[in-house]
């Protein structure tokens, strides 16, 4: 399940402040520059290949890191739904 921009920003803030590093998958993803117009759509289509999780079992978000004339580099953050639910219940 892809997050909206505000949800993605919130997840990035939460990941950066309260989620232990081993609870989330955080990785760089390189896409062809043609994906620049809709990188979230491209990631959604490839999420099962980019992560070890089933798409329905995770929340995920991304942010733009850099680009050149041929490539777009993104930061993909993925957390299993159960893990996030458990962490939020401890607040």
What pTM, to 2 d.p., does this model score? 0.76
> Is residue 28 within 8 Å of 43, Cβ to Cβ?
no
Written as one string, the DSSP assignment of 5-38 is: HHHHHHHHHHHHHTS-GGGSEEEEEEEEGGGGG-
pLDDT, tens digit (0-9, with 9 covering 90-100), for 18-42: 677 788 898 999 999 999 999 999 9
Distance CA(53)–CA(10), nearest Å, equals 21
Of the pLDDT bands very low, low, confident and very high (cuts 50, 70, 90), residue 55 is: very high
């Amino acid at each position: 399940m892809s997050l909206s921009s505000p949800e993605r920003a919130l997840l990035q803030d939460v990941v950066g402040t309260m989620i232990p590093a081993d609870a989330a998958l955080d990785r760089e993803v390189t896409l062809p520059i043609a994906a620049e117009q809709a990188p979230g759509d491209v990631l959604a289509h490839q999420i099962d290949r980019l992560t070890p999780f089933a798409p329905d079992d995770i929340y995920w978000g991304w942010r733009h890191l850099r680009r050149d004339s041929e490539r777009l580099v993104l930061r993909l953050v993925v957390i299993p739904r159960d893990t996030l639910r458990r962490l939020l219940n401890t607040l």
